[in-house]
Amino acid sequence: MAIEQDGLSTDGSVFTEKSGLRAFLQTWPPMVILAIVWLGLMVFIAIFAPLLTPYDFMAVDVLARLKPPVFFGGTFNHVLGTDQLGRDVLSRAIASIRVSITIALCATLISTIVGVTLGFIAAYFRGWVDQVVLTIVDAQLAMPFMIIAIAVLAFLGNSLPIFVMLLGLYGWEQVTRIARGLAISANTQGYAAAAREIGASPGRIYLRHILPNISATIVIAMTLNIPGVILLESSLSFLGIGLQPPQTSLGNMVGYGRDYIQSAPWIMLMPSAVIVVTTLSVSIMGDWLRDRIDPTVK
Amino acid sequence: MLQFVSTRFLRALVTLFIIVTFAFIVLRLAGDPAERFFDPATPQEVVDAFRHEWGLDQPIWVQFYRYIIAVLHGDLGNSMRENRPAMETVLARLPATLWIMVPTLFLKTIIGVAAGMTAALYRNSTFDRLIMSASVFGFTVPAFVLALVLALIFAVQLRWLPSGGYATPYHMILPIATLSIAGAATVARYTRSSMVEVLGRPFVRTAAAKGVRSKQVVTRHVLPNAAIPIVTVFGFMLGNVVGGAVVVESVFSWPGIGRLLVSSVQSRDLAVVQVILLLIGVMMVFSNLFIDLLYGLIDPRMRGGKTQAA
């Protein structure tokens, strides 16, 4: 990404007068504000989902099957319509958002822990340990993760813990590479050497000194990992090999809704839109964070 | 040059070995095949005989060795559903997948590189902004959503194209369009940023200053230097197409490997899953090897035999 140079003025001064609003919009572009508001809403829904659902997301009502949303001939009883079993689409979407967001956050946390640990181990031992880690990273980069995930789910069977652990491996290789590189360069800096001189243990140097110093970059890498996890989870659930019913997730809803694409497209359109807007928001926010905090990561 | 080629080959072999090891580990983690095969009432002697016959009573290292030998012989077990070698089942589906993958790879490279180049050359123009916004959507919209939306518009509403199946060339259009749109967006983004970077280098300015025509500056000076990152994305995109094919084939009922993979997972036809895993692994490793060798061809500086450090 090129560095924006619009802020430089022609008279050679680095200080320019800006109106308050323009300055505000330059640090907080409208798209970023929208993205943050949307993500805030998603987190709010994820936390308070049971209080927000107008119906039980599993409640079947055969008399109210395939009711359209409110402005397409439906009623306010089911604002977003109902699905093939008469379940309220809004309630299911809220429950799905909770599941999908929770899984994405847990998985990203796991992949960050795995990635940072491996990166630090590689950076501390160097030599053949480093080579082994780098070779596994290369092998991971060579295989599409989607295929690995499907194969593991086929062999190990599917349960929620296995599914989350598996998604938690998504993107570890990126974090490992970043953490390894940063730890190696941090080792050559004064503070790590100083800590070593006064006799701090390697564990202390890495966790108390180096980790806090590189955490901004790691957090950005985490943020940029989230859209991928959401897409992977929803794709697997869509194919019917991810989250299993009666559990519901956004991909799951789209997967079941696709059979009714002709008669009741709202069943799949609503969760699809949520997936797209959410991944879009996370990547807008991630790019913005990266440009603001640390333009060196890519 | 010889050292460059041989290190790349060695790396490809190591990666293949890791993939085979991975397949072996998940296969073993899936549980004792004897337990899956027989019901609990089977006499112990029968189970033991089965174990002995398949070498399951041997130490794990011997089993691993035998597994590698079997893989090298292409002996990967039978498909439970079709009762024939899993390899045959998978290879029968390969042409269908290639029919959508090959055109996709061509289309998205051509569209992506052309759009990215134009965007870079007319930087900050309306076209540039349009391409860049489109490319953000390209990788935040999941393949299955794009596929369903295209099906909703072109098959359900307009009735121009079939929504699924394998009968005529028209059936190929929607799957290829889905995969190409997403891929082209990413290629365009990388092409643009790589071109923008090269356009800012001093030798481009020098070339322009000494009067080289702008068309020549682009084809002779900028493109060769921008090619490396573009080629890198291509390797990465191949993996994406393979992953995306699984979803797209399922949506459009396309009888390729991706759909076979999904249905084999659902019926737990593990031999088929394993063959597909290894086949894709081999394919990815060889295409990455090809790309690595391509680097050496494009950029003589890369022939030193050093791998890029992370």
Q: What is the pLDDT of residues A72-109, one digit of tens each?
A: 666 666 667 777 777 888 888 888 899 899 999 999 99
What local confidence, expressed as pLDDT, does residue A9 receive?
Answer: 45
**Cross-chain Cβ contact B280/A139 below 8 Å:** no
Q: What are phi and psi of A246, to 5 degrees?
A: -80, -5
What local confidence, expressed as pLDDT, does residue A37 receive?
Answer: 93
Rg (CA), chain B: 24
**Cross-chain Cβ contact A235/B143 below 8 Å:** yes
**Cross-chain Cβ contact A154/B152 below 8 Å:** no
Nearest to B227 by CA among B136, B113, B108, B61: B113
Q: Which residues of A touch B273 (CB under 8 A)?
A: 150-151, 154-155
Beta bridge partners of B41: none
Neighbours of A218 (CB within 10 A): 20
What local confidence, expressed as pLDDT, does residue B37 receive?
Answer: 62
Report yes or no: B200 at the A interface, CB cutoff 8 Å: yes
**Cross-chain Cβ contact A154/B265 below 8 Å:** yes
Mean pLDDT, rounded, for A123-149? 87
Mean pLDDT, rounded, for A200-228? 85
* C-alpha A70 chain-centroid distance: 31
What local confidence, expressed as pLDDT, does residue B294 receive?
Answer: 82
* A134/chain B closest Cα distance in angstroms: 8
What local confidence, expressed as pLDDT, does residue A119 receive?
Answer: 92
pLDDT at A298 over 50: no
What ipTM goes with this model? 0.81
pLDDT band, residue A8 (cuts 50/70/90): very low
Does this model's pTM top 0.90? My answer is no
Q: Which residue of A has its CA nearest to B193?
A: A1
For chain A, the average pLDDT equals 82
Contact B285, B12 (CB under 8 A): yes
pLDDT at A10 over 90: no
Residues of B numbered 46-105 whose beta carbons fall under 8 angstroms of chain A's beta carbons: which are they? none
Residue ranges for chain B with pLDDT beneath 50: 305-310
Question: What residue type is A109 in one-letter code?
Answer: L
Mean pLDDT, rounded, for A217-235? 87
Q: Which residue has the higher pLDDT, B168 or A31?
A: A31
Count of CB pairs separated by less than 8 Å, A with B: 138
Per-domain residue ranges of chain A: 22-293
**Cross-chain Cβ contact A235/B247 below 8 Å:** yes
Nearest to A114 by CA among A168, A177, A178, A187: A168
Question: Element (H or E) spanning B211, and its range?
Answer: none
Mean pLDDT, rounded, for A109-119? 93
- Of the spans A107-116, A189-198, B100-109, which averages the highest pLDDT? A107-116
What count of Cα atoms within 13 Å lies in the side-chain half-sphere of residue A21?
A: 1
CATH numeric code, A22-293: 1.10.3720.10
pLDDT at A144 over 50: yes
Contact B98, B177 (CB under 8 A): no
**In the numeric block, which tokens belong to residue B12?**
């490809």
Lowest mean pLDDT among A22-26, A75-79, A90-94, A193-197: A75-79
Report yes or no: B27 at the A interface, CB cutoff 8 Å: yes
Lowest mean pLDDT among A162-176, A284-298, B78-92: A284-298
What local confidence, expressed as pLDDT, does residue B36 receive?
Answer: 63
Contact A182, A214 (CB under 8 A): yes
Q: Which residues of B touch A156 (CB under 8 A)?
A: 26, 29-30
Question: Element (H or E) spanning B67, and its range?
Answer: helix B60-72
Dump the DSSP string for A224-261. HHHHHHHHHHHHHHHHTSSSPTTS--HHHHHHHHGGGT
